[in-house]
Amino acid sequence: MKRFSKFGEKLCGGSGIEELMDDLGHALAQGGDHMHMLGGGQPSMIPEVNTIFREALDGVMSSEGALEAMLGKYDPPRGNPRFIEALTVMFREQLDWDVKKENIAITSGGQTAFFFLFNALAGLHHDGTRKKIVLPLVPEYIGYANQSVGEDMFVAFPPKIEKIGDHQFKYRIDFDRLVIDEDVAAICVSRPTNPTGNVITDNEIAKLLAIAKSHDIPLIIDNAYGAPFPNIFFADAEPLWDSSMILTMSLSKVGLPGTRTGIVVAPPKIASAMASMNAIVGLANSNVGQVLTEPLIRSGKLMELSKHVVKPFYLAKSLRAQEWVKAYFPDDIPYRVHLSEGALFLWIWFEGLPISSKALYERLKQRNVLVVSGAYFFFGLDDTDWKHQHECIRMTYTMDAEIVESGVQIIADEIAAIYRNA
């Protein structure tokens, strides 16, 4: 074979998300205390959560024919009807959203949902135009970057940076620089944001939604970490859905990443399109996550678990990780940690970093600490010389406390040496 097609070259040539997941997979498979896996988005194993899922699995096992149906039957391409019904009732009764079953489609994880959405909305159209996806604030989720089946489809805008105290900061959307023209197919944000833990404010969301409506395009919100589940949401902000909005959710961060279950809440035309793409690409979705969680959603237990167990668990881990950063990082090093308002990460900015964040990643990897270079999260920008995008790293705090604390110590030692020797 001489070479791949353009589609093949786009998806088969390596990517930041592949590097991240490869590191994660090898680290988790290898195990041992010597590896400090602070790079991936692997959720923690929370005992109370695992107990609930074991009980749900026991319920399937003890119900005659339920296991056979879960493992041996295809669901419709849109998803399990009972699961979709349970979601519809939850959205209407718990959140007062005007959601009907026609607004919902299930996908094989949130990553698949975005592959479908981006390529259905953006790219080459029949009239010869090439539509784009606007990211109104970067850094943004690394998993979006290589999802186009054609040419690059993202247009991104750098944020305003609000410095807070000596060692904190927050990104805000710079609406003065945001441009939405006729070539834009949709606006997309993650909330809480992966990689930074930023929560775009209610006011910012309202402005984005108004802009999207004025241009007759959807606002896509990636709600993988948001409410009502997994509810890894620390900021004072409200979950939102609107009939012109596309909201994606997942069972991954509530503790079921292996089930690969994504949820799309969207206008009926979009939800129907997701079902069509499911049928073409994979026939149907995995039944396991839908069958396990349907009674938990119907009873309200999954929402209660998210609110009273998952959220407090990760908030405590975030606060502890921030305490270690403050304790071990030399105060005279110019570092800032983004306000931790949700998700599973700390985003650390080393202002004036003498080397690139990719070089820092390699140096830390040699010391058995895996983080993610921030450079991967700034795709879609025209300003490739903006130094800030090469001064940040993402680290997760979901691993055992001893691993996180030791990893922070090594990062602090390495950074001190870099600045000292610059």
Express each pLDDT in 299-313 by its tens digit. Answer: 999 999 999 999 999
| Residue 200 confidence (pLDDT) above 80 | yes
- Does a structural domain hold residue 293? no
- What are the helix (H) ranges across 37-95? 47-62, 66-72, 81-94
Average model confidence (pLDDT) across the chain: 92
Query: Which amino acid does the sequence have at 170?
Result: K
CA distance 36 to 21: 15
Phi and psi at residue 233, to the nearest 5°: -140, 100
Mean pLDDT, rounded, for 33-58: 90
| Residue 33 confidence (pLDDT) above 80 | no
Encode pLDDT of 65-97 as tens digits. 888 988 999 999 999 999 999 999 999 999 999
- Does a structural domain hold residue 63? no
CA 46: distance to chain centroid? 19
The CA-atom distances, in angstroms, between 260 and each of 121, 201, 267 are 23, 29, 23
Q: What is the pLDDT of residue 23?
A: 61
Q: What is the pLDDT of residue 313?
A: 98
What domain range includes position 10? 6-49+305-414
Which range (18-22, 98-102, 209-213) has the least confidence? Answer: 18-22
Mean pLDDT, rounded, for 31-47: 81
Residue 228: asked if its preceding bond is cis (omega within 30°), the reply is yes
Of 239 and 261, the one with more pLDDT: 261
E strand map for 214-360: 219-222, 245-250, 262-265, 335-338, 345-350
Is residue 123 within a helix (H) or strand (E), and if so which, with residue range? strand 123-124
User: How many domains is the chain built from?
Assistant: 1
Q: What is the pLDDT of residue 421?
A: 87
- Does a structural domain hold residue 314? yes
Phi and psi at residue 241, to the nearest 5°: -140, 145
Mean pLDDT, rounded, for 254-277: 96
| Residue 114 confidence (pLDDT) above 80 | yes
Give the confidence band of 50 by pLDDT, cuts at 50, 70, 90: very high
- Does a structural domain hold residue 80? no
Of 59 and 5, the one with more pLDDT: 59
Mean pLDDT, rounded, for 221-229: 95
pLDDT > 90: percent of the chain: 81
| Residue 6 confidence (pLDDT) above 70 | no
| Residue 19 confidence (pLDDT) above 90 | no
| Residue 11 confidence (pLDDT) above 80 | no
Give the three-class secondary structure for 125: coil
Mean pLDDT, rounded, for 110-131: 92
- Does a structural domain hold residue 194? no
- Does a structural domain hold residue 397? yes
Q: What is the pLDDT of residue 27?
A: 54
Q: What is the pLDDT of residue 29?
A: 55
Give the confidence band of 8 by pLDDT, cuts at 50, 70, 90: low
- What are the helix (H) ranges across 63-201? 66-72, 81-94, 110-121
| Residue 295 confidence (pLDDT) above 60 | yes
Q: What is the pLDDT of residue 404?
A: 96
- Does a structural domain hold residue 133? no
The closest of 224, 400, 409, 227 to 304, measured between CA atoms, is: 227
65: number of CA atoms within 13 Å, CB side?
1
Of 402 and 150, the one with more pLDDT: 402
- Does a structural domain hold residue 340? yes
Q: CATH code at 382?
A: 3.90.1150.10
Give the confidence band of 151 by pLDDT, cuts at 50, 70, 90: confident
Give the confidence band of 14 by pLDDT, cuts at 50, 70, 90: low
CA distance 374 to 267: 34
| Residue 4 confidence (pLDDT) above 80 | no
Q: At what angle do helices 268-282 and 110-121 cross, to 10 degrees?
A: 110
Cβ partners under 8 Å of residue 356, min gap 6: 373, 375, 390
CA distance 262 to 136: 23
Q: What is the pLDDT of residue 184?
A: 96
The CA-atom distances, in angstroms, between 349 and each of 104, 140, 335, 392 are 38, 15, 6, 4
Q: What is the pLDDT of residue 5?
A: 64
Give the confidence band of 239 by pLDDT, cuts at 50, 70, 90: confident
Q: What is the pLDDT of residue 35?
A: 81
End-to-end CA separation in angstroms for the chain:
47
The closest of 42, 20, 18 to 370, measured between CA atoms, is: 20
Q: What is the pLDDT of residue 42?
A: 86
**Which residues are 337's β-sheet partners?**
168, 348
| Residue 144 confidence (pLDDT) above 80 | yes
Q: What is the pLDDT of residue 382?
A: 79
Mean pLDDT, rounded, for 125-140: 94
The closest of 191, 108, 188 to 154, measured between CA atoms, is: 188
The closest of 383, 384, 322, 392 to 351, measured between CA atoms, is: 392
